[in-house]
Amino acid sequence: MKFPAPVSVQWIADLIHAEVAGNVTKEVTGINEIHKVERGDLVFVDHPKYYDKCLNSEASFIIINTKEVAVPEGKTILIVKEPFEAYLKIVNHFRPFTAAEKSISDDVSVGEGSVIMPNVFIGHSVVIGKNCVIHPNVSLLDHTIIGDNVVIQAGTVIGSDAFYYNTKKDRDTWYKRMQSCGNVVIEDNVEIGAGCTIDRGVTAETRIGNGTKMDNMVHIGHDTTVGKNCLFAAQVGIAGGTIIEDGVTLWGQVGVSKTLTIGANAIVLAQSGVPSSLAGGKTYFGYPAEDASLKRRELVWIKRIPELWRKVME
């Protein structure tokens, strides 16, 4: 999430009651997760396992819970007891929860030729392009951006909070929600089926590329990037932080794990599971998803096991 305007390090330090070390002259431009950070961003880390990764990332400012680290040249650390709580305080300041007072907010922008059917909910700061059709009972939550010529079928929810929690066993509530301050961007010519759910980014965006088509009951997790002209059949589920490159086809009930990449023009056949990255331009099947021709041969040999066993026993 980018701030409305850059703020000084000292202003952030005062907000979260932090001790500052390192470069104190630069201004903070936004807050982001580690896999989305850019120069000028603020990131938080509260586990020694990830100290080095955060300190050596593109982030210019790091909220951390120790003084015992070497601060990279030009960077700044802000030392607090609970970095996660500091993150929440910053997010709540810049993008606080604002309850809706009507079904379509006053600050919505709707392009020429677009049709909004009855019982649609549209939250704050939503932008809808030209010649779109939004069918009944769709929910477009805060900060969602919809391009031109987009069709969204009934009952779909776009922009719901990420399924993303900070886990600590030393407190009464083990799972504390990492508040989402990102959004969803739907590019031009996308069609989304009925009953789909697309979560907003935690701090950045979830993006669906130009020309992509989704069947009913598809779920896209937070911070996922879907390329152009992809095709997802019913009940596909994609976890957070995943990259789906251009032209990928996922057939029915394919499950895709988090923070991996499926290469351009790959095809994953129905009911397959994808636990790790896949190269583009191939067809995959099974769990774990593998080259479909190899997997089919494997299934043939599995079926022959009883026959082979009988021959061994004779």
Query: For 193-301, where are the E strands, in sequence order?
Result: 197-199, 205-208, 213-214, 219-220, 225-226, 231-232, 237-238, 243-244, 249-250, 255-256, 261-262, 267-268, 273-274, 283-285, 290-291
Helix (H/G/I), strand (E/B), else coil: 163? coil
Helix (H/G/I), strand (E/B), else coil: 176? strand
Place of tokens 């703020």: 7
d(CA 58, CA 37): 6
Place of tokens 């907010």: 105
Give the number of other Cβ atoms within 10 Å of residue 70's Cβ: 10
d(CA 229, CA 232): 10
Place of tokens 């022959």: 304
Give yes or no for a contact between 129 and 114, defined as CB atoms under 8 angstroms apart. Answer: yes
Annotation says 222 is catalytic: yes
Q: Report the chain's terminal Cα–Cα distance, integer Å.
A: 69
Helix (H/G/I), strand (E/B), else coil: 289? coil
Number of H helices, E strands in the chain: 5, 34
DSSP state of 295: H
Structure-token pair, residue 58: 């593109």
CA atoms within a 13 Å half-sphere pointing along the CA-CB vector of 19: 9
d(CA 14, CA 20): 10
Helix (H/G/I), strand (E/B), else coil: 29? strand
Candidates 135, 143, 219, 222; catalytic one: 222
Catalytic residue set: 222
